[in-house]
Amino acid sequence: MKKSLFLITLVLLSVIVLGQEQEQLPVQPNEQPQEQPQVQPAEPPPAPQALPEGRDLKTVRLPRAFIHAGKEYPAGKYWLVLGEKNGQAVFFVANAAKELLFEDLAIVKAHPVEGTPSHFHVNIAGTLGDEYMKVKVTTQEQWLLGYFLVKK
């Protein structure tokens, strides 16, 4: 009996609730559809920088992949230019198309032997433990050293 009274009460409540009119929102005739935000086209990437002026070391082959400023570079041929920036020697490193990738300060050491014949030589070798590749430029007056972190 209690079940039947409960069911009857439930049915009556649902009839009352469903029987009431649902409130409808009025539609405005002059209402404009919402405009979609326009997507701005992506800016084209900046034009690659040309190599700065300096002593062109031509292409050098870096035999191992390396990391500079958190970015990885594969082993291969790179253009090196030895230049000067703010009074300090700098290696400018570019890809095969001579587009500047990055610059790195050169470590300058005085040449220990005075009066050596004038020559200019680039040597690439690994450091002890092969943690870095060393680019060594020998001039009459000094050695210029650049170090590239080898990718493990």
Domain of 80 in residue numbering reads as: 55-150
pLDDT value, residue 29: 61
Note the pTM of the prediction, 2 decimals.
0.59
CA distances from 113 to 98, 109, 110, 144 (A): 35, 12, 9, 15
Residue 72 confidence (pLDDT) above 90: yes
pLDDT value, residue 134: 86
Q: Is 23 part of a structural domain of the chain?
A: no
Of all residues in the chain, the percent with pLDDT exceeding 90 is 13
Give the up-direction half-sphere exposure of residue 40: CA atoms within 13 A in the CB hemisphere: 3
Q: Is 91 part of a structural domain of the chain?
A: yes
Q: Is 21 part of a structural domain of the chain?
A: no
Residue 20 confidence (pLDDT) above 60: no
Q: What is the dihedral of CA 117, 123, 129, 132, to 10 degrees?
A: 120
Q: What is the mean pLDDT of residues 125-151?
A: 83
User: Based on the structure, what is the number of domains in the chain?
Assistant: 1
Over the stretch 10-19, which tens digit does the pLDDT of each residue have? 666 565 655 5
Q: Is 125 part of a structural domain of the chain?
A: yes
Q: Is 25 part of a structural domain of the chain?
A: no
Q: Is 26 part of a structural domain of the chain?
A: no
Residue with tokens 């900046």: 46
